[in-house]
Amino acid sequence: MTEPNRPVIVLVRPQLGENIGKAARAMLNFGLAEMRLVAPRDGWPNPSAGPAAAGADMVLEQAKVYATTAEAVADCAHVHATTVRKRGVTKPVIGADEAGRQVHSLAGRHAILFGPERSGLETEDVALARNIITIPINPEFGSLNLAQAVILVAYEWSRIGRETAGVDPVLVQPTLEDTLPPAPQDELDGLVAHFEKLLEPRGYFLPEGRAEATRRTLRGVLTKPGWNHLEVRTLRGVLTTLDRKIRD
């Protein structure tokens, strides 16, 4: 099976250790492990990053620190900058899905830049990139924190990878809850008959001219959900209990 092309996540001048840790957690959730830090404000390592990573310690332990963004991406053939503004630099603008597609389809190392929490990437950072990554967002509230931005890009990369032939070693779909097969027809017939038995003496099927149509509609309602035998048995128990209460 083909090994997927994993992008390098570059956090440019990150401010809080907690956010670095949360970004590492977001990365590892989707199979990314290579983090590079450019001049983190509070230095590195940062004691606040570990607890926020919630187990993604390997990402933090392997993280490399660089003095400048240019140094951090020097070995990368493709650089993508995440920003909501072009900052005076004319670059192609793509979505996170297209960025993921490019990472999988274009050979060479890819780096994805994320700017500081407060101000985002500077013009000099964006100038290093071949394109700008943006996502559709509420124009009245376009505030994403660092980990949210990372997880969006990481998710799209993994999603595109699963759609690419021969690239599917990264994620495993959580096991779906085992479901029971639908109840056999005789059990559904028994449920319908139970309802009819309780409704008949209470005049539900009146007037007589509408009785047949009402019975068909009731049967359709009761058989449509595809109840399993446990659900049918539960409903029968409910009806029995209600009938007992009425008789008492």
Per-position b or e across 224-245, b if 16+ CB within 10 A of its CB:
eeebeeebbeeeeeebeeeeee
Query: In this structure, is residue 172 part of a structural domain?
Result: no
What is the number of structural domains in the chain? 2
Instruction: Please tell me whether residues 242 and 134 are part of one structural domain.
Output: no
- Banded model confidence at residue 226, pLDDT cuts 50, 70, 90: confident
pLDDT in tens, 99-130: 999 999 999 999 999 999 888 899 999 999 99
Q: DSSP per residue over 13-81, as a string?
A: S---HHHHHHHHHHHHHTT---EEEES-TT-SS-TTHHHHHTT-HHHHHH-EEESSHHHHTTT-SEEEE
221/159 same-domain check:
no
Let me know whether 81 and 196 are in one domain: no
Distance CA 193, CA 57 (A): 60
Rounded Cα distance, 79 and 150, in Å: 15
Q: What is the structure's pLDDT at 175? A: 54
Residue 168 pLDDT more than 70? no
| Cα radius of gyration rounded to whole Å, the chain | 29
Nearest alpha-carbon partner for 115 in 245, 23, 220, 201: 23
Q: Report the CATH number at residue 78.
A: 3.40.1280.10
pLDDT in tens, 12-70: 999 999 999 999 999 999 999 999 999 999 999 999 999 999 999 999 999 999 999 99
CA-CA distance, 66 to 236, in Å (whole number)? 68
Amino acid symbol at 81: A
Domain carrying residue 99? 8-163
Instruction: Give yes or no: residues 138 and 196 share one domain.
Output: no
Q: What is the pTM of this model?
A: 0.68
Q: In the chain, what percentage of residues exceed pLDDT 70?
A: 90
